[in-house]
Structure 1
Amino acid sequence: MRQAEEVTFGGSGLDRAADLRGDIPALAAALQAPGARSVVIWRGKPLVRGEAQADLLRLPLDHPLLAEARARPVLLGREAGAVVLAHDISGWEPEAPPGEGFLDQSVQVHPLAPEGARFVELRALLMALSPRDAELAATAKAILGWHDSHGFCARCGHASEVMMAGWQRVCPACGTHHFPRTDPVVIMLVTRGNSCLLGRSHGWPEGMFSCLAGFVEPGETMEAAVRREVMEETGVPVGAVRYMATQPWPWPSSLMMGCHAEALDTALTIDPVEIEAARWVSREELAQAFAGDHPEIKPARKGAIAHFLLRAWLADRLV
């Protein structure tokens, strides 16, 4: 699909420096180089400066804020020949607690952070970060989240140890190697004629509708997952399915595989356990929703792959 990598987190060509992960002398030398930097994450929120156009901060490795980290940093990659790490300071307890609900709009300011810097929910920054900053932030959030939830060996239960600059965990008891987890998810633009099928999950903001989505099951193809999920959630049979684009989605570790699916019928039978509602929406209604003028529908937020797919369909850019 044309412009597929315009999706937020879609990839900026980051050099992930896989050659350094197991090369201890080379990595040690890279960490001593003057250009080495680190991004900082607090409970999944990146440290940024600015608002409408936010910058992901990269701090020198001797910055006092990095001493707040309780675990070794993870190597994210290289920029202009210098390494970029990620430090997790989630143990810090701020005066302003995190918010609740669909989108945490609270910000936290650490007393040791550079002036104007604050921790912000990554979902609130979807359209504010450059492609490189977005890729670094998403990678840092996903890999640090994996370490936070996978500290013990799934085979024997013993505490595992961080290896390969943060890209493996190894169990010292049974020797099992564990690798970062990525969960494949299909998200589909389902169309029939001049209409597309939108749904809403329980707990979403009032009026918000988006593309249907669901996890790919073991032993299942992407196309089969699209057909199964659409049938389970809405009772709509699907014929042709084609891949459009992917989006890393670190909540906590998904890879969203965007697809276009052609419905064979329009009759809806909603599974109320799976979704709250679903409806067919014409191109004219969708354009009205994107303009903010629809009385009932608010579209998927900008920066999400669902918004990307729907806007591409409106502009006839699916091919």
Structure 2
Amino acid sequence: MSLKPPIPFASAPFERAAHHRTDTDWLKAAKSNPTSLFMLMYKGKVLCEENGVSLEDVIPGQAISQTPRLIAWLTSDQLPIHEPSQSIFLSEDNGIARFSINLPAEFELENSALSQHVLGDVRAIAGGISPEDAQFAATSAAIFNWHRRHSFCANCGHATHITEAGWKRTCPSCEAEHFPRIDPVAIMLAVKGDKCLMGRQAHWAEGMYSCLAGFVEPGETIEQAGARELFEEAGVKATGRIEYLCGQPWPFPTNLMIGMIMEVENETLIVDKNELETARWFDRAEAQQVLDGTHPTISAPASIAIAHYVLKAWLESDNWKN
């Protein structure tokens, strides 16, 4: 267990300096400071430096590009919009403030001074950007996704306003305060002896298998959610031995993935076809082939996904070898 698990979106925590979020004078000065840096997002994608390599969207099961890619951090005088409707104060460290700006949909990127840049899907570029940029991008994507989905007050239905440097929405009608939500997801590698269980969904690329997963419901713990999902999706019962590995922010739209290895008592599968196309057991040697990319017909989750890390952790752990 580590504060910096070696997976994208989770390995480079930054100084969020939350005390600045309510300091309007400091924020105003920081936005005009020539040393401040701005990440720009447009229609869910992040502005990147052009390096001659085309940017593609993600297809589940296909390898994520490892081609190096640079986020286009701009200074205040390079911004095409000086009063953005949506901006987030991200961090302040060593005197450098960082913000993220969500350009409006009507903005014409190709006709602006930013036309020499390219837009990258956050998931698609995660394998090629720095750990620091990945965590900044994940934070920005998650917060802007939250704003997009929660523009009206859940208490009275009135339109809400963005406050506290992008980290809160306030209702002017009933004065309710709304904060960014996170949807926790338990993601489990079920194991019995020297075998592990993985399944696949029909819309994934041919041959891709992954850990089973599901949202944590109100009134249950992470462990209880994992056990419930394993039984609902595959008919296997957890026996009580559980190893928590790590968490991963997954801003698609606002999930927090919670990776675990869970021992189960039975191998007989009853697959819920509404959730999975199929599921099967893999012995340790075959699972290693899947992870290494040498299996003739089956592929592992992309290396940016926590499921990849969970499978790797099981294969490398002496605690789970019989």
Tell me if both proteins adopt one fold, taking TM over 0.5 as the criterion.
yes
Contact 2:261/2:314 (8 A) holds in 1: no
- Mean Cα displacement is larger for which, 169-178 or 197-206? 197-206
Query: Aligned partners of 1:234, 1:3: CA distance in 2, in Å?
Result: 31
Alignment CA distance shift 1:3-1:72 (3 Å): closer
Corresponding residue for residue 62 of structure 1: 77
Corresponding residue for residue 189 of structure 1: 189
Give yes or no for the alignment of 1:219 onto 2:233: no
Corresponding residue for residue 58 of structure 2: none
Alignment CA distance shift 1:124-1:110 (3 Å): farther
Matches within 5 A, 1:240-259: 240-259=241-260
Contact 2:13/2:135 (8 A) holds in 1: no
What is the aligned counterpart of 2:91 among 66, 74, 77? 77
What whole-Å deviation, never above 9, does each CA across 1:171-225 have from its counterpart, x for those lacking one?
A: 0000100000100100011111111100112311111110000000001001100
Alignment CA distance shift 1:234-1:90 (3 Å): farther
Give yes or no for the alignment of 1:290 onto 2:291: yes
Contact 2:160/2:171 (8 A) holds in 1: yes
2:314 match: secondary structure: helix
Corresponding residue for residue 210 of structure 2: 210
- Mean Cα displacement is larger for which, 28-37 or 268-277? 28-37
Contact 1:226/1:241 (8 A) holds in 2: no
Alignment CA distance shift 1:87-1:317 (3 Å): farther
Query: Aligned partners of 2:275, 2:94: CA distance in 1, in Å?
Result: 46
Query: Aligned partners of 1:53, 1:186: CA distance in 2, in Å?
Result: 31
Corresponding residue for residue 157 of structure 1: 157
Query: Aligned partners of 2:205, 2:106: CA distance in 1, in Å?
Result: 30
1:132 match: secondary structure: helix
One-letter code of the match for 1:12? A
Contact 1:213/1:229 (8 A) holds in 2: yes
1:55 match: secondary structure: coil
Contact 1:185/1:256 (8 A) holds in 2: yes
Query: Aligned partners of 1:308, 1:47: CA distance in 2, in Å?
Result: 28
Alignment CA distance shift 1:277-1:151 (3 Å): same
**How far 1:90 sits from its partner (Å)?**
4.5
Query: Aligned partners of 2:219, 2:2: CA distance in 1, in Å?
Result: 30
Contact 1:70/1:91 (8 A) holds in 2: no
**Aligned pair count?**
304
**How far 1:317 sits from its partner (Å)?**
6.7
Alignment CA distance shift 1:318-1:309 (3 Å): farther
Query: Aligned partners of 1:13, 1:318: CA distance in 2, in Å?
Result: 28
What whole-Å deviation, never above 9, does each CA across 1:151-189 have from its counterpart, x for those lacking one?
A: 100110000011100100000000100000100100011
Contact 1:45/1:121 (8 A) holds in 2: yes
- Mean Cα displacement is larger for which, 228-237 or 192-201? 192-201
- Mean Cα displacement is larger for which, 266-275 or 71-80? 71-80
Alignment CA distance shift 1:163-1:34 (3 Å): same
TM-score w.r.t. length of structure 1: 0.89
